[in-house]
Structure 1
Amino acid sequence: MYLKKISILGLIVWCVLSCKHKPHVNEPPNLLFILTDQHRRSSLSFLNEDPVHTPNIDKLAKEGVFFNRAVSNHPLCSPYRAMLMTGKYPLSNGVVENCNSANTPYGNFLKKEENCFSDILVSNGYSAGYVGKWHLDGPPSTPPGVKKVWDTWCPPENRHGFSYWYAYGTHNRHNNPYYWDTNGSVKDTIFINQWSPEHEAEIIMKYIDNAERQREKDKPFALFWSINPPHTPFNQVPKKYRKRYEGMDFKSVLNRPNVEYTDNYSWKKGDNGVDARLNQAPDYFACVDGVDDQIGRVIKHLKEAGLYENTIIVFSADHGEMLGSHGLMHKNVWFREAMDIPLIVHFPKSISAKTDDLLFSVPDYMPTILGLMGLGDKLPSDVEGKDYSKVFFDKPVERPTKQLYFGTNPMVPDLGARGFRTFQYTFSVVKNDKGEKFYYLFNDQEDPYQMKNIWGENPAVDKQMEEELAALLKSMNDPW
């Protein structure tokens, strides 16, 4: 009898130890949504395009679902974030340009009354946190001619359900960032002397441990981590990540055939006659490597905490980076280097690894991830994105045939650029303040680097593109 009790006790102890970190079958999944800033799709090392080293992100892609046709429909910081949070396109959510004091009078900020991604999660039992760059609030207005104000404190009533907050509006101080925490006022700025992704990774790990009661322990968590690098300034990156690029200049690392070093730049030239920031191309890739390293630290910590198996990890970026392609720098254009972004959804507990060529748009993120989490029926009626969560389980969905490209400013929303991407074409039209239109059409299948504008070569194709764009914009009530 005594030996029998011992064996039963041993079985109980073994079960406790071996099952300690295994999730219950019906336990709601946690969510870790990671987005980097200005991280183009080609800067994933498993694609063998840019000379980057991203083993941790690569592993997520290998084990998860990699959407290789994801785009940023308006390749700019604030519009992406607003589309992500609302599931709506820029004209519907009002964020058609970057949030700053010059755009605030036009309502160019995330509205308090929006029912956002985080609001839905919180109302359905999640404890939600946000770490890093927010860039969705409108600083107090400044008159024309006065220098724009970009950053602003986000009051608790504007945080859309995030009960844990360690964030800032927008700044480019990668080596000495500052933040506002959950309970701090506008005067309680926290200054840090550490590379921001490294510091934020440590904050994330503390959140995972719930060491300071950052979240309600009996609830699943939804944590959004918005990392600023590889956004400019590229050269604000630790030396340890620069070592792989020692002795390499921008011509050594920029291997895309559409890169131009000549006179297309509207920015100040450096000593070698090219954009001074283009000289920092090796640093851009060093930033990408460093960000991957910090993501790896967080993933390792999730595993150690026993939360990895039941956590959906999403990795994406707000837009890409031109880095000299077509003689351009940065973003906010329809070329692939700016529009194409990484999108990986990792949840091996429930979904099998694969690559999917769904034409994914940013407003689709919210309904699709909520669908994967079993909350697809909780979407607001005004969400414009589609729930494609069935693709994770190889079930049929009505796949989109095009992805909107949108670019304008809140002062004249009926001007700027409009277009779309299909499996074969990228089409864009730019309208200036005189009403003149300039057309760009690329056959991406035959010309993947978009080096030849074929507009005017085939009138039938041109007409088809114009008609499809007109129908798309009419369906979205676009005044353009």
Structure 2
Amino acid sequence: MKGFYSASLFFMLFLVVFDGFAQPSKSKTEKQPNLVFIFADQYRRPSLGFLNEDPVVTPNIDQLAKEGVFFSKAVANHPLCSPYRGMLMTGKYPLSNGVIANCQSSRTEFGNYLKKEEITFSDVLVNNGYSAAYVGKWHLDGPKPTKPGEKMIWDAWCPPENRHGFTFWHAYGTHNSHNTPYYWTTNAKENEITTIKEWSPIHEADVIIDYLKNQNNQRANSKPFALFWSINPPHTPFTQVPDKYKKQYEGRDYKELLNRPNVQFTNNKELKRGDRGVDARLYQAPDYFASVNGVDEQIGRVVQQLKDMGIYDNTIIVFSADHGEMLGSQGLMHKNVWFRESYEIPFIVHYPKKVKPKTEDLLISVPDYMPTLLGLMGLSHQIPKTIEGKDFSNVFYNKSVIRPDKQLYFGSEPENPSSGTRGFRNADYTFAVVKDEKGSKFYYLYNDKKDPYQMTNLWGIDKDLDKKMERELEVFLRQMKDPW
């Protein structure tokens, strides 16, 4: 028996050392990985160049996907700016963290902002020895409340005590001045705004490169860093993009560029949710694609700096987006609907030092990002017990996980959380129910496998399937304690 146990122990050690898919354990001398989490506002999944869908050129993002893990089924559970950020930072869904809609002054009284007492992604990292930095659009603070009829305030200064551990700050609440952006820097007071006359992604890449070089002690050299970069373009206004990126689309018909078969060039008046501004804005589509190309180029500059400094291999690089952009699909513009162009988002995790490249079809949701990345960083034991997301870091090593069978779609208002739209996506279908102000319900059901562009609403064709989807949604929402 003694010989048996010795042989077994040797075999187990062999597997740990040589199995390329076994989850690595950190030695005492191994450096913690840095993290660069990049998310571009309104960047839709079809605008990943390697997918060959939209007419874009994204070689730098393509390379991250080629060398990393591309989560092909990632969605923005509430495809809107602030709710995505709230879910990313807290690991909780909107009803639990209170960021139910975009932060602005008419919603502040309802607690629609990131709370100081939340334990956030950045809090966990800082408490475990990281220097944390935030660059770009924050959009998680509640401006001073305004009453109905008063002009709404969208932007808000974030005081240092509300920054959840971010000790380097070059950010703003929310604005759409891409060519003349303004920022609050780390030590700036509320009335001390820095305005820049340069396209915001270019300027922010400059700031990040300087941060990485650390010549002005922007971070602690002895610590790993966690940098979050929220790029506003390709968010509206699409036209605010440098001419050098626009040149590729000169003389090209926007109707030709919008090559998805579900694009409509007139407004869809039948849908009960969504922005119908295609008639007035769809001609700007080439500028959207130009912005995508520009964003990719600036990401490439930051990646090159990591390589030049020799820290590329020990840096986890993530690329994502807070939501997509309809851009005429279904006769709609922009976001906040369940259709794939709005709902699906990029999610690429690049860490070749430890993780082999692959495409992963896990039905991952935004609250899962925080625990999954903490798990990848060796901090699974530090994941807050209060979060609702799951740690799926074992998928990076081809280990088994309990795979979710659906992803929530949520759309509501903070003054009435039981309002709006609810739905889910599973392996085969997308299902959504819109409830209007009178309580009437409108149903949308699509077979994503047979109808990938979601051009045929199947509701009412198969009553058994309808009932099944309704029952599943009811069970799902009860589990989440949703008042809807």
Alignment TM class, shorter chain as reference: over 0.9
**Aligned match of 2:69:** 65
4+ runs deviating over 4 angstroms:
265-269
**Aligned match of 1:240:** 244
Note the 1:227-376 alignment, pairs <5 A.
227-264=231-268, 275-376=279-380
Q: 2:216 aligns with which of 209, 212, 227?
A: 212
Q: 1:135 aligns with which of 122, 135, 139?
A: 139
Deviation for aligned residue 1:284: 0.1
Q: Distance in 1 between matches of 2:397 and 2:268?
A: 46
Deviation for aligned residue 1:26: 0.9
The count of corresponding residues between Structure 1 and Structure 2 is 454
Residues 419-439 of structure 1 show CA distances to partners (whole Å, capped at 9, x for unaligned) of 000110000001112111100
Q: Distance in 2 between matches of 1:326 and 1:141?
A: 36
Query: Secondary structure of 1:295's partner?
Result: helix
Q: Distance in 2 between matches of 1:424 and 1:140?
A: 44
Deviation for aligned residue 1:25: 6.1
Deviation for aligned residue 1:465: 0.4
TM-score by length of 1: 0.93
Q: 2:92 aligns with which of 88, 96, 114?
A: 88
Q: Cα gap change, 1:346/1:247 in structure 2, threshold over 3 Å: closer, same or farther? A: same
Matched, 1:149 2:145: no
Aligned letter for 2:84? Y
Aligned letter for 2:372? T
Q: 1:116 aligns with which of 115, 120, 136?
A: 120
**Aligned match of 2:55:** 51
Aligned letter for 2:282? L
Q: Distance in 2 between matches of 1:268 and 1:189?
A: 35
Deviation for aligned residue 1:86: 0.1
8 A Cα contact 1:267 1:275, kept in partner: no
Q: Cα gap change, 1:268/1:344 in structure 2, threshold over 3 Å: closer, same or farther? A: closer
Q: Distance in 2 between matches of 1:462 and 1:376?
A: 39
Deviation for aligned residue 1:415: 1.1
Deviation for aligned residue 1:243: 1.1
Q: Distance in 1 between matches of 2:117 and 2:302?
A: 33
Q: Distance in 1 between matches of 2:481 and 2:65?
A: 37
Deviation for aligned residue 1:263: 3.2
Residues 243-270 of structure 1 show CA distances to partners (whole Å, capped at 9, x for unaligned) of 110101320210001111123279797x
**Aligned match of 1:9:** none
**Aligned match of 1:78:** 82
Deviation for aligned residue 1:288: 0.1
**Aligned match of 1:420:** 424
Query: Secondary structure of 1:198's partner?
Result: helix
Residues 99-151 of structure 1 show CA distances to partners (whole Å, capped at 9, x for unaligned) of 00011010000000000000000000000000000000000001001121100
Matched, 1:167 2:171: yes
**Aligned match of 1:472:** 476
Note the 1:12-31 alignment, pairs <5 A.
26-31=30-35
Q: Distance in 1 between matches of 2:56 and 2:197?
A: 26
Superposition CA RMSD, Å: 1.3
Q: Which runs of 5+ in 1 are unaligned?
A: 1-22
Question: What is the identity percentage for the equivalent residue pairs of Structure 1 and Structure 2?
Answer: 66
**Aligned match of 1:404:** 408
8 A Cα contact 1:268 1:276, kept in partner: no
